[in-house]
Amino acid sequence: MHLISYLKTPIGYVQSGGTEYITVEGVGRLKEAFKGRGILSTSLQSRGRNPILNSQFDLQQMTPAEYSSEESGKISVELEAQFKSPCCGIRISTGEGYIISPAFRLDPTEGQNIALMILAARSSPYNVAVEKSVLAISKDESEVTVTSDGGEIRCAGTIAGQTRTARIILNRKPKIPVYRAQLDQTVSELKGQGQIGAVWRPVARSFEQLVFAFYPWKMGSNALMPGTVNLDPITNYLGAPGIGDPDEFDDFVIGDGPEVNYTLTLRIDRGLERHDSDETGVTVA
């Protein structure tokens, strides 16, 4: 278990009698504790000429969480089976992004609330399905066949007509209300006419299970300032390029999964901002 903490007091990981626990020192008494679907998101906010990154944490599908407390003020919460669910998320080149994972929220009688996000890697194969098997631009007789098998999507077809560029694009958009950041990934591109093909597989990273502990109140419109909470500690641990790396601002997929809406699009660009497209929904489970 890997621990990343922005708290003032230590956190720990304990195994006892076949059960796993996360501990937080110096919390004191709790008013309540919850578990659910944790969402850490970062988005650009425009303020005058200088856009800034704004980070937020939200706990959805909340239910009460059982915990134990000690006289020293240490709190322990049990990692039930649901906390093995794999996380998913992205960080795009602008610094925006999101991560979705099981999480706890601890509400002390004194002091600030504490969030514990539990990030696990996927351990089982993906199941991938598409809503329709053909993407077609009828006026140009351009057609791409789309199939899904073995946890991947295969595309193959012919591009004809007055085409400057043809692209097959996969779009990721999280199932988060009122959130605009999404990722368009070009999986194949063709200049002019001819044969086009692509293979796409969901991203699954291998890493030691991670606990990310922080105070939600330390999030806000200063997400780039030292000591504030954003996606960087998580993405850097998972292998994203860090500060000073030539690829620092590249898009980075934390992981794919059912918490995201996927769309596969065939887009034909004709120049002068003219284009046609056809798309199909993709399910990743």
Higher pLDDT, 64 or 223: 64
CA atoms within 13 A on the CB side of 196: 29
Q: What is the C-alpha separation between 276 and 271, in angstroms, rounded?
A: 11
- Average pLDDT on 83-101 reads 91
List the single range of 19-23, 40-44, 148-152, 202-206 with lowest mean pLDDT.
Answer: 40-44
φ and ψ at residue 99, rounded to 5 degrees: -140, 140
What is the band of 264 on the pLDDT scale with cuts at 50, 70, 90?
very high
What is the band of 223 on the pLDDT scale with cuts at 50, 70, 90?
very low
Instruction: Report strand pairing: 88-91 vs 128-130.
Output: unpaired
pLDDT above 80 for 245: no
Higher pLDDT, 106 or 162: 106
Task: Spell out the domains of the chain, with CATH numbers in brackets.
Answer: 2-123+204-254 (no CATH), 128-201+257-284 (2.60.40)
- Average pLDDT on 77-91 reads 92
pLDDT above 60 for 225: no
How confident is the model at residue 47, as a pLDDT? Answer: 54
pLDDT above 60 for 221: no
Cβ contact 89:31 at 8 Å? no
Mean pLDDT of the chain: 89
Smallest CA-to-CA distance from 277 within 133, 137, 161, 159 is with 137
Residue-wise pLDDT for 177-193, tens only, equals 767 778 999 999 999 99
- Average pLDDT on 236-263 reads 83
Higher pLDDT, 117 or 234: 117
